[in-house]
Amino acid sequence: MKIAVYGLGYVGLTAAACLAKDGHDVLGVDVSADKVAKTNGGISHIAEPGLEDLLKQAVAQGRLHCTNQPDEQINDCDMAIVCVGTPSRPDGSHNMGYIAEVSRQIAAAVNPERRTPLTVVYRSTIRPGTIEGLIAPIFEAALGAGSSAFELVYNPEFLREAVAIKDFFNPPKIVIGTHDGKANARMDEMNKNLDAPVFYTRFREAEFTKFVDNTFHAVKVAFANEIGRLCMQLDISARQVHEIFVSDTKLNISPYYLRPGDAFGGSCLPKDVRALQYISADVGAHTHLIDSLLRSNEAHKHHLFEHCTAGLKPGARVLMIGLAFKLGSDDLRESPKIDLARKLLQAGYALSVYDPGLKPRQLVGQNLGYAFAYLPNLPNILVSDETVTGTHYDVVIDTNGTAGRLSLKANRVVDINTLS
């Protein structure tokens, strides 16, 4: 198939490269001329293991071309996949401005006389009812109610940063929302090489799936961290308690997020928890546990700061290993490490940060804005391998489990992923 991918961020760029790898011809679309130019040159503007190799291969084979002015090219496509951002509004709801604008652009460009419909697939996280209440009316206004020139699909993504390519080709599940909950031929064609359970639903069930998943992941992290704090206060080994708890895979379900350690963060969990809180309040569902998640997470961030700085004198040398949300990524959006670094600087400690995968000049978009809004002196606190190995620190804070690979000189090393 020929597939257009709108939005070349973390999700869209990975999807474009993987679809090309799977044999499809891909048209990448983004408003950023810089992203378009880099991608057309086979260069990834984000840090994701293996992604740049796939991009170079796709461009060399002629399977990937990107533009910021798709114009009539969309009518040569069988499918358009929308991967634009839905950032949080101040009230916690999703900002649907990008979704609405891209939908208008696609609807305006579609030839109403198409012989076969353009399958427009949305992968961005959106409130249940958005396809029916916002997106479908945009297409119907442009092309007419009952038009056969387009069909809408909601297909949430389940990609984890730093292992996104593996997750694309080996998803835990495939969820496809259609207007009647029945199968879609083009979606089946796109997913024919993937081995995963497939769930066809109506739009709303598919739209809600990502909220349920991400909120449960947030619940698991917050719950484990609250237990971890209690363990520390009661002189109990959180590591042993965790080991016992996750050994029960029959009742306790999954060990993946259920360990006391760092706070949750990143571009998905906080945003989707806020949005679900807003939805719950909007419909009067009174979800008190969900409403407490972000407060619990903020309390845990401060607890980690106090734990890491216990006994430190003002002006002490502190080294943080890792600043990005996850090892192998350069995504700083709502990274709890950013909050910890900010607290350390505000408290007057001499902070250095070691994250060799982080290149401030390569940050773009929301990632760039978030990083410099919270750490405007970011370039000045990043240090090299030589500085790390040649400096004695009062405390080293290991945020990603890589301290053991370095030759460190320190009075104390704190691994915030264990809390033991």
Place 252 in a pLDDT band, splitting at 50, 70 and 90.
low
Place 45 in a pLDDT band, splitting at 50, 70 and 90.
very high
Residue 257 has a pLDDT of 60
110 sits in the region (left: phi over 0; alpha: psi -120 to 50; else beta) called beta
What stretches of 231-374 adopt beta strand conformation (E)? Answer: 317-321, 350-354
Catalytic residue among 66, 77, 268, 308: 268
Question: Structural domains in the chain?
Answer: 2-196 (3.40.50.720), 209-307 (1.10.1040.10), 309-420 (3.40.50.720)
Question: In 3-state terms, what secondary structure has residue 318?
Answer: strand
Closest to 187 (Cα-Cα) out of 197, 174, 196: 174
Q: Which residues contact 381 (CB under 8 A, 6 or more apart)?
A: 341, 345, 351, 352, 353, 375
Is it the case that residue 167 has pLDDT exceeding 90?
yes
Residue 330 has a pLDDT of 86
Percentage of the chain exceeding pLDDT 70: 97
Distance CA 324, CA 185 (A): 39
| Per-position DSSP letters for 93-120, written without gaps between them | SB--HHHHHHHHHHHHHS-TT-SS-EEE
Residue 352 has a pLDDT of 96
Is it the case that residue 256 has pLDDT exceeding 70?
no
Residue 227 has a pLDDT of 84
- The stretch 338-351 carries a mean pLDDT of 96
- The stretch 187-195 carries a mean pLDDT of 97
Compute CA distances 18 → 9, 50, 94, 190, 210, whole Å.
14, 10, 27, 11, 21
Distance CA 82, CA 12 (A): 8
pLDDT in tens, 308-321: 999 999 999 999 99
For residue 17 the two structure tokens come to 């490269």
Is it the case that residue 201 has pLDDT exceeding 70?
yes
Is it the case that residue 360 has pLDDT exceeding 80?
yes
Compute CA distances 400 → 334, 350, 391, whole Å.
16, 20, 20
Q: Is residue 66 among the annotated active site residues? A: no
- The stretch 163-186 carries a mean pLDDT of 97
pLDDT in tens, 66-104: 999 998 899 999 999 999 999 999 999 999 999 999 999
Amino acid in the structure at residue 56 = K
- The stretch 384-392 carries a mean pLDDT of 95
Is it the case that residue 259 has pLDDT exceeding 80?
no
The per-residue pLDDT of the chain, averaged, comes to: 92
Is it the case that residue 420 has pLDDT exceeding 80?
no
Closest to 19 (Cα-Cα) out of 1, 41, 39: 1
Distance CA 298, CA 303 (A): 9
Is it the case that residue 60 has pLDDT exceeding 90?
yes
- The stretch 277-285 carries a mean pLDDT of 87
- The stretch 188-210 carries a mean pLDDT of 97
Are 42 and 62 within 8 A, CB to CB?
A: no
pLDDT in tens, 294-341: 999 999 999 999 999 999 999 999 999 999 988 888 888 889 999 999
Distance CA 205, CA 207 (A): 5
Distance CA 128, CA 283 (A): 12
Q: Model-level pTM?
A: 0.84
Is it the case that residue 119 has pLDDT exceeding 80?
yes
For residue 252 the two structure tokens come to 């306790």
Amino acid in the structure at residue 194 = L
Place 258 in a pLDDT band, splitting at 50, 70 and 90.
low
Q: Looking at per-residue confidence, does 363 or 352 come out higher? A: 352
Residue 323 has a pLDDT of 92
Closest to 221 (Cα-Cα) out of 173, 286, 128, 292: 292
